[in-house]
Amino acid sequence: MSWTLEGLKVIDLCRSYPPAFAAMILADYQAEVIKVDPPGYRFPIPMKGGTEAFSAFYALDRNKKSLSLNLKSEQGREIFFKLAKQADVIIENSKPGSMEKLGIGYLTIRNLNPRIIYCSVSGYGQDGPYKMYPGHDSNYLALSGILDMIGEKGGPPVTPSNLIADMAGAGVFSLTGILMALLAREKTGKGQFIDISYTDAVFSLLSFETAMYFLTGIAPRRGETFRTGSEPCYASYKTKDGKYFNIACVEPRLWENLCRALDLDQLIPYQWPTDEKKRKEVFSLLRRTFIKKTRNEWWEWVKDKDIGAAPVSELEEAFNDPQLVHRKMIIDLDHPNLGKVKQVGFPFKLSDAVCKFRNFAPIAGQDTTGILNDLGYGEKEINELKALGVI
């Protein structure tokens, strides 16, 4: 019998999308995820095609429901408390102390529901001297030491979109913390509070770099380690068509295969050149070699040669990549008004679990009536709440 998260109830209070990713994964596995939006809420960044198009393509809220609710009102909090009594998980990413000011902080909810798992996600964490500072992905990368390692030697730091601290950090770590707390609850019967910091999360990803620093006493600098582009065996090379081809031949076997396939056997002893002159020579020779063919020609050439390499794809190209298509990481969905809609697929492949698309991201508040009906509110009460601006 296949496994799902059906029956798990999650309240998503997130106002930004990295921790909403955690709630999306739970929803993909059929947990009931209710996204609480303030009345009249609209996504803060204008989107081409308006609200309907945005909801169709915005995968991070897919499979969720949306409840319009004014949490600053007494009646709104009463509704929230009814939801929280039934919930398994609450996830929020407001400034530390915000939930307590609203009267819906962890201690309050725990008294109503001792089994609640309450995940708070913030830039610097719930305590410490920086806890109230605003921030974004690049700030957390900067503080953690990661941003200083990204870019060419002698050049400025390069901001790598928002994929590290936001998504790999807050998004994935929130999901991990929630799943660990759910597992713990199976043993103890009790919920708990989870404090996720974007900065803590991204700093923990430096485990290898910090180990090398503590071991050698030498801190990595951008462009001065093989992971930051210092070595010819681990770099991207410009091709004939102006695109780039990446090689990552860290193992001696892969490097030897590359050199022999290129008829550059003389480079085999210089996988890790010990002096700068030789390093420049190897780089120069490989650059002169890779510029002779287009990126896709190199990709076809390398496929049967047991070499760590890949084309540097542009995003729109990745959506047609045979491997990603085969792995169903691009899914085509039928939208009632927009026709075929593409979204990123499901990243977890479990042999005995059902992960599926059920609905597009909801327009803010579209499930309010149904959710309130489930909580026991009748039509008259719902109309009164609407008139008061509670929903």
Helices (H), the chain: 17-28, 50-57, 74-86, 98-102, 106-112, 137-144, 172-188, 198-204, 207-216, 252-261, 276-290, 295-302, 315-318, 322-326, 368-374, 379-387
Cα-based distances in Å from 285 to 183, 232, 254, 282, 289: 54, 10, 18, 5, 6
Which of these is catalytic: 61, 137, 166, 367?
166
User: Strands 32-37 and 64-68, how do they pair?
Assistant: parallel
Is 306 a residue of the active site? no
Angstrom distance (rounded) from CA 132 to CA 124: 8
Tokens at 201, concatenated: 């999360």
Among candidate residues 177, 227, 214, 184, the one with its CA nearest the CA of residue 198: 177
Residues 253-261: contacts with CB under 8 Å, at least 24 apart: 253/306, 254/306, 254/307, 254/308, 257/305, 257/306, 257/307, 258/233, 258/305, 258/307, 258/309, 261/302, 261/305, 261/307
Whole-number Å distance between alpha carbons of 201 and 295: 35
Cβ-based neighbours of 386, under 8 Å, separated by 6 or more? none
Q: What is the largest CA-CA distance in the chain?
A: 84
Name the percent of the chain in helix, strand, coil, to the closest 5: 45, 15, 40
158: tokens are 């390069």
Torsion, Cα of 36, 359, 385, 106 (10° steps): -20
Task: With beta carbons less than 8 A apart as the criterion, state whether 324 and 257 touch.
Answer: no
Give yes or no for a contact between 222 and 228, defined as CB atoms under 8 angstroms apart. Answer: yes
Q: Which residues form the catalytic set?
A: 166
